[in-house]
A and B are shown apart, each in its own frame.
Chain A
């Protein structure tokens, strides 16, 4: 290996770092270290003059390794890597020491903060000497897309992509398109017809030359990587078809919560306690009747069924409150004389036009009652007296503090949302992760909300977390624009800090295979070794730490690099002892 010639740059970040860390002292100190050729401090390393400083030094002093000690690498690692590239140096011959978030912002003693910053810089200097050049790689993109799920999100995605002239394969496990919305009558907050949203889309899709729909079809396994995926489909378990595509949108939606597990609500025991899904069907048919065929005089609508309660699901299902209000509106129109009771924990109707919708609804002679959603659910009981109602809801009304009995003929349970039963199978097939509630995890909750940690796989709609039509469609269009962007570009850069198997050492124990979250490792029985697919590999390092043999090396995170980094930190302490 060439002798390292290291340039070290300590950033002031204005006063952000300099007020708590003696940047000049550190720059002077590290100058004494072996292999450090240049050591400077500068007000803003990330500025153009700051970057030019590095570029000039690389050229004039023949530097081959760079350490910038500044903010988090999450913010400016790419900036400085680009600077190295501009100077003709491989961008991986760079290491960043974070002395802002990790030092100046979190400490109050200038002397101690300076010493800590110094040891972090020493660690970076020790490490960077072992950095290796890594070559960038890119793969071509197949312009076809696979969309899993034929609900509002999947339908939107299919049309958006297909209308640009690209091929779309739309997979739906049921025998018809439309998803959960196909059973919904009106949408909130404008009470517009869902059918008018859905039907034209389905009709267009069925006729679209660029969309191939597969009904009654489930995804088993998907092979490949971004730009080059492949799967075999078994439509109706009859014909087999191999599809090739470059991107995947997972739009598998949600399933309703089953309220029979909540004893207080007696669902399944009392015939006129029904779910919002069942009630929606009545609304769609236009006939609201009890099981005995009578028109209900008093109706209770209970919110948060299965949601926001640690016994069931901790999260908010987001659409049920507004849907409950929608029912109150529809009931008031259908049964002008009926008593309508909204029983809620908290009223959560946020979003454009939704608060106004709540206010309008509350003026329609609807009774709102609040209960303790976490500790004290209302109880639905059969009416045993001969009076003219078949059930009583017992509620401890939170705002008045009174115990109330409400006579009702029908109770609608606003059931929450849950991940699909086959969420895990899909996550395995496409190689994405699930959170504890089995909803899929986005790459970054704020900065990259529709991508996943597997390149080329996007999550939209309620499979990522419960949401309504507006959010689902927004997410879908975001994912579509990402996909069309990569298709337009024709190729994508793939991760270069991947894992690599040393064939001379790998013994074929296969410990690495099951730990890989990206199914990037397979076993080659002829050579008796594990093989990493470098396009699938994201360089997470799990296999490297799992490998008992030390045969797997994580590029840019080798044992040598990490141990020398530790040595850099420790050596400072040893000097002081």
Chain B
């Protein structure tokens, strides 16, 4: 890190969140003491979770003012979309940061419901809700003091690339801090960046390539288990033990952390190149592993997969081919 290099102008960087849990912003903070290197090399010109900026500050910036924006979170409402478009306009490089911006992520599972179903559940039915007047959020609401505005809630959760042009994708839930630093330093040092629209901070090969568990071609499953239902030997491929592991459909780059912690891969790093729908790919693969020929037996085995849609499309539904429930 060359903090002494006075001639080099500091990078202008922004971090913003759409529909997200906040974990991605925290992962940026997770650089720990390296944060000093980051702030030495970059000025954070917009980062609402950590520093006090207003929309108007952003609106006032000239176009292309920001060098790099790390946008995390999916697009759920009109506010997410507006700021995403604004940041795109103000930024030279737009990075979809984390699973939600990349493919829709966990909030994207809401696409298995319609907006009406979600509102009904959240505002009328949930156990902790008292709403006898059946009030729903209104985008425009007049009170004595004036007009109030709320963002419009969309029917669909969308990945970032459905509303703006994305330069790079940095996957993960959240992205591993080491990968972020590598990417950040590459930008700071002016290294040649990969071609636009590519995934950075992850490998082309999937988890299995790094996974040290023993793998064979004997993937025959008579019964599916959830991880806590088996005595994992810590050595055998999860799939071969009947535990659904998204590893073969998921890029490496996280350091196979879940698997090393004896938990199957959940798929947050997204699919390898040229594989647009990891959920479909994995379902199709798992279907070939079912060790039965009779319909009844096959049905029985499949029933053991709890929440198949949420399992296979946990991070990727809005970015997949099916996108949502119709």
Contacts and interface: CB of A to CB of B under 8 A. Distances in A.
Interface of A: 502, 504-511, 513-515, 523, 528, 542, 545-551, 559, 563
A509 B220 contact: no
B255 to A, nearest CB: 15
Contacts of B274: 502, 505, 550, 559
Given A509-B248, A546-B284, A551-B272, 9 more contacts: A502-B274, A505-B275, A507-B209, A507-B272, A528-B209, A548-B248, A548-B286, A559-B276, A563-B276
Given A548-B248, A550-B271, A514 B218 contact: yes
B247 interface: yes
A549 B206 contact: yes
B285 A507 contact: no
Contacts of A506: 205
B145 interface: no
Contacts of B276: 559, 563
B208 interface: yes
Interface in B171-187: none
B288 interface: yes
A546 B219 CA distance: 12
A515 B248 CA distance: 16
A515 to B, nearest CB: 5
Contacts, number: 87
A508 B207 CA distance: 10
Interface residues of B, number: 32
Contacts of A549: 206, 208, 248-249, 271-272, 275, 281
Given A548-B249, A548-B281, A505 B204 contact: yes
B208 A509 contact: yes
Given A505-B272, A514-B218, A550 B209 contact: no
Contacts of B285: 511, 546-548
A546 B286 CA distance: 8
Given A514-B217, A549-B272, A507 B288 contact: no
The interface centre, meaning the residue of B239, B271, B288 with most chain A CB atoms within 10 A of its CB, is B288
A528 B252 CA distance: 15
B216 interface: yes
B273 interface: yes
Interface in B198-230: 204-209, 215-220
B164 interface: no
B282 interface: yes
Contacts of A563: 276, 321
Contacts of A550: 249, 271-275, 278, 281
B205 to A, nearest CB: 5
Contacts of B218: 514
Contacts of A504: 204-205
Interface string B223-259: 0000000000000010100000001110000000000
A513 B217 contact: yes
Given A514-B219, A559-B276, A509 B247 contact: yes
B312 to A, nearest CB: 10
A511 B281 contact: no
A507 B207 contact: yes
11 contacts: A505-B205, A507-B272, A508-B208, A510-B219, A511-B239, A542-B288, A548-B248, A548-B278, A548-B281, A549-B271, A550-B249
B289 interface: yes
A283 B100 CA distance: 81
A502 B209 CA distance: 14
Contacts of B215: 508-510
Contacts of A511: 217, 219, 239, 248, 285, 288-289
A508 B247 CA distance: 11
B253 to A, nearest CB: 13
Contacts of A502: 274
B73 to A, nearest CB: 26
